[in-house]
Chain A
Amino acid sequence: MVSEDFFQKRHAYQSSNSVLSAERNPVNREPILELRDVWLRIPVLTMETRSLKKALIRSVTGGALRKVGSGAEIEALRGITCTIRHGERVALIGHNGAGKSTFLRLVSGIYQPTSGFFRAHCPVYPMIQKSFITSPDLSGMQAAKGHYLLMHGNLRGFDAFIDDVIEFSGLGDYIHLPMKGYSEGMGARLLFSMLTATQHDCLALDEGFGAGDARFFERAQRRMEDFIGSAGTLLLASHASELLRQFCTRGLVFHQGEIACDAPLEEALAFYNELFN
């Protein structure tokens, strides 16, 4: 799938990009995220994986396998170096398992680097959550309250928040019923409405994030656009070029845990298309 001259191309792009970056990047803006030679090695601890073939693990993870003692570890991110500045809209591009989601998890603090320098100058909100923090035996109202307390530490402003969530999700009085009685679509609508009801300085978003049933989808798209638009800084992982063009100006192409290309979006997309199609 990857052409043999991949590394030559990457070098050429990064060389030209360093000039482009210097010219186009808003260097006067403060950095939000700084990564220098960041590595993330994920230990493979189950007994079964000790007997798995290297190729099989590669096909599942996209990362590189390294033997450590009697076990193994996956190099999920390898030597990541980049700076993301305030207000930038960054697209994360790459095939499944290339490292996009791992990068999102790293910058948002879910994962911590194994080595290298990483600093986040503001909280990065990961929008990859697909379940509620509270039990499904509880009502949607209690789930919303738990979420709000987690976000704010108190209930000041909760009334406006819950009014917005109820109105947008269209749950109405169902908000007071146990969530285990909700359909899948109702649950997804509630979760989507809750997570998009608050603005964030820096948003790490995975396109896999669901938005409920088809009727809800169009309204959800508009709200998502507003939500993404209101974020100070955006990191968006997606396979959809149109979505990335709509929101992003810079592209990071991931391949086997490395940043293969860091360039303005169109150049990054061109690089990705040339490399993988």
Chain B
Amino acid sequence: MNSLTKLFGYAWSSRRAWWFTATARTRARFARTALGSFWLGFSNLLSIGALAVVYGTVFNVEDFNHYVVYLGTGLVIWNAIAAAVSSAPSLFEYNAGHLKNTNLNPVFYSLEEWAFQVQSFLQSFFLVLLVLSCFQINLFVNLIASGLLPLVNLVLFLYWIPLILCLLGVRYRDLFQLVPIVIQLVFLLSPILYDKKNLGNLAWTADFNPFYRVLSPLRHALLQGELKLGQSLLILIFNIFGICIALIVLERQRKHLPFLV
């Protein structure tokens, strides 16, 4: 418990540093591009446009406007989860030089990565919502009225799941190869391009799909303007528990990290 308190204290006291280096990474990523970080949103919008036209036709959807918003909100949230999970196994490898030569607490790198992913997500999320508002005008109202708790849950989830994966990835290199495959499979199994009821007898898989369990309440709040309070509070408790577990594992692994990268 004492080490957890210290970690939280360190995370708070160093917040400006990891937020700054994460912002700097975003700037570096889009250095010398004409549109800068707007590319984050545009790339999502291009995918949403293409997939909505193709799958809207394939599924022969009756209400295209509703389908675009359903697919668009689902896809932008999914992309955030997928990006965070995909980059997780190589996080400590990427920072190997610093882990071996500076005495920065390794939690710094996880927080910087988290801040980078959250910044990327929020930039694309708000741009996508802005464009999707042409199809459903009340998206921002719904977000403020019902979507804040699910949004917080998503942001918390983006911290601890990747942290667990990067702690596993630093020890088991097979994860580098495995994660992209699993991400693809989970995407196909998640009701993002299609409705949950289309899964038929396989609908139960969505209930055991942790990514979908975080994605679904936020999308539901945005589309329906309804907060599933009990479910969201349960996910919040689960997230807090997950963060604590991830940090405890990190603290236990800390002494081995310089030798594993």
Interface contact B31-A178, CB-CB below 8 Å: yes
Interface contact B28-A150, CB-CB below 8 Å: no
Closest to A136 in B: B28
Contact with A along B211-239 (1 / 0, CB 8 A): 00000000000000000000000000000
The reply on A130 being an interface residue by CB < 8 A is: yes
For chain B, the count of residues having a C-beta within 8 Å of the partner chain is 26
Interface contact A131-B103, CB-CB below 8 Å: no
Q: How far is the CA of A45 from the CA of B258 in the complex (A)?
A: 12
**Stretch from B13-21, B120-128, B132-140, B161-169 contacting the other chain:** B13-21
The reply on A135 being an interface residue by CB < 8 A is: yes
The reply on A27 being an interface residue by CB < 8 A is: no
Chain A residues with CB under 8 Å of B208's CB are: none
Interface contact B13-A146, CB-CB below 8 Å: no
Q: How far is the CA of A44 from the CA of B41 in the complex (A)?
A: 44
Q: How far is the CA of A124 from the CA of B14 in the complex (A)?
A: 18
For chain A, the bracket of interface size reads 20 to 34
The reply on A173 being an interface residue by CB < 8 A is: no
Interface contact A111-B17, CB-CB below 8 Å: no
Pick the residue among A43, A150, A154, A178 that contacts B104 (CB under 8 A).
A150
Question: Contacts A149-B20, A150-B17 known; A130 to B101 CB distance under 8 Å?
Answer: yes
Question: Contacts A45-B260, A137-B31, A153-B14 known; A111 to B255 CB distance under 8 Å?
Answer: yes
Question: Contacts A110-B258, A131-B97, A131-B98 known; A137 to B28 CB distance under 8 Å?
Answer: yes
Question: Contacts A43-B259, A129-B101, A131-B97 known; A149 to B24 CB distance under 8 Å?
Answer: no
Pick the residue among B13, B25, B259 that contacts A45 (CB under 8 A).
B259
Nearest first, the 9 closest Cβ-Cβ pairs linking A and B are A137-B28, A112-B255, A149-B17, A135-B28, A109-B103, A150-B17, A129-B101, A137-B31, A128-B101
Interface residues of B (CB under 8 A from A): 13-14, 16-17, 20-21, 24-25, 27-29, 31, 97-104, 254-256, 258-260
Interface residues of A (CB under 8 A from B): 42-43, 45, 105, 108-112, 114, 124-126, 128-131, 133-135, 137-138, 142, 145-146, 149-150, 153-155, 178
